């Protein structure tokens, strides 16, 4: 099973650019979006109980004193691109959402609230941390390649590019205490035969879902949750709508608790949940 941290040499090939050298820890999500604390780290399958009385085996539980970290990025991708150029947009966005969802405001929230963001920087922050969230068996070998991963990597590294048409980024309020990072998870819908592949990054107060070549018929139903990237460059500010009503958004425990007509297809070692202690 892939682990979020690895001991031994700190040299290897960066998960994003592939450059070989000293690797650095990347916090997922970034430290500016949350306050890293001691957490219990579990794979998705370890959180599934056969009965309410069942407990999680402490022998297979891993802990981190400082949040979920991955020793997987070179200094340029982690500290310069993510840390200097992109993370501030994600941090600012998460703080805006947190203020909106503060308990004192929940009783008077309208159906949707507009928020100003820099879409291209926000998307690159989300995508960069998703790419970081994988420890390969041999970090000296080239990073994993696949159509979706390659599209994410190419977009992240070239600031002149718009988000590829094959990729769509969605968001909604997230109210659970635990954090989730799901890489390469597919959701098969038995009622219509659709299969949607993508990555999830979820932390209080916001969840992101990055999809790849998703069926238009299904995605049209959640168009209101999509972040638009039309006609905007790296510095453009746009408005997105944060929907607040249960009927307009996904459950906070979705997709880890799928609907009755859904089946999850996943690599358990790349689907992690962290629970604050």
Contact of 174 with 252, CB cutoff 8 Å: yes
Q: Report, as an integer, the average pLDDT of 168-195.
A: 95
Q: By mean pLDDT, which of 75-84, 98-107, 117-126, 208-217 is the weakest?
A: 98-107
Q: What is the DSSP string of 99-147?
A: HHT-GGGGGG--SEEEEEE-HHHHHHHHHHHHHHS---S-TTSPPP--H
Q: What are the domain boundaries of the chain?
A: 11-276
Coil, strand or helix: which one is 216? helix
Q: Give the CA angle between residues 162, 163, 167 to the nearest 5°.
A: 160
- Tokens for 240? 């997105």
Q: By mean pLDDT, which of 19-33, 52-66, 73-87, 96-110 is the weakest?
A: 52-66
- Could you tell me the sign of the dihedral formed by the alpha carbons of 163, 183, 9, 38, in that order? positive
- pLDDT tens for residues 99-141? 999 876 666 889 999 999 999 999 999 999 999 999 999 999 9
- pLDDT tens for residues 17-40? 999 999 999 999 999 898 888 999
If we measure between CA atoms, which residue out of 68, 106, 113 comes closest to residue 203? 68
Contact of 208 with 126, CB cutoff 8 Å: yes
Which pLDDT score is estimated for 1? 46
Q: Is the pTM of this model over 0.85?
A: yes
């Amino acid at each position: 099973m892939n682990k979020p941290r690895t001991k031994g040499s700190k040299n290897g090939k960066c998960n994003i650019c592939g450059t070989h050298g000293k690797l650095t820890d990347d916090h997922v999500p970034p430290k500016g979006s949350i306050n890293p604390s001691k957490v219990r780290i579990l794979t998705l399958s370890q959180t599934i109980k056969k009965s309410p009385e069942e407990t999680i085996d402490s022998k297979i539980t891993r802990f981190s004193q400082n949040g979920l970290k991955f020793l997987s990025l070179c200094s340029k991708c982690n500290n310069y691109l993510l840390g200097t150029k992109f993370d501030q947009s994600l941090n600012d966005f998460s703080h805006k959402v947190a203020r909106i969802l503060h308990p004192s405001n929940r009783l008077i929230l309208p159906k949707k609230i507009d928020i100003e963001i820099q879409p291209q920087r926000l998307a690159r922050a989300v995508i960069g941390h998703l790419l970081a969230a994988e420890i390969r068996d041999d970090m000296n070998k080239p990073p994993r390649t696949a159509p979706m991963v390659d599209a994410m990597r190419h977009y992240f590294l070239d600031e002149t590019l718009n988000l590829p048409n094959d990729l769509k980024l969605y968001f909604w309020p997230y109210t659970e205490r635990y954090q989730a990072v799901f890489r390469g998870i597919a959701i098969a819908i038995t009622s219509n035969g659709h299969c949607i592949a993508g990555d999830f990054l979820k932390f209080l107060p916001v969840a992101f879902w990055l999809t790849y070549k998703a069926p238009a018929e299904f995605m049209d139903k959640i168009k209101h949750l999509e972040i638009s990237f039309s006609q905007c460059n790296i510095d453009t500010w746009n408005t997105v709508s944060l929907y607040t009503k249960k009927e307009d958004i996904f459950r906070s425990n979705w997709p880890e608790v799928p609907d009755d007509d859904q089946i999850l297809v996943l690599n358990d070692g790349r689907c992690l949940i962290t629970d604050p202690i």
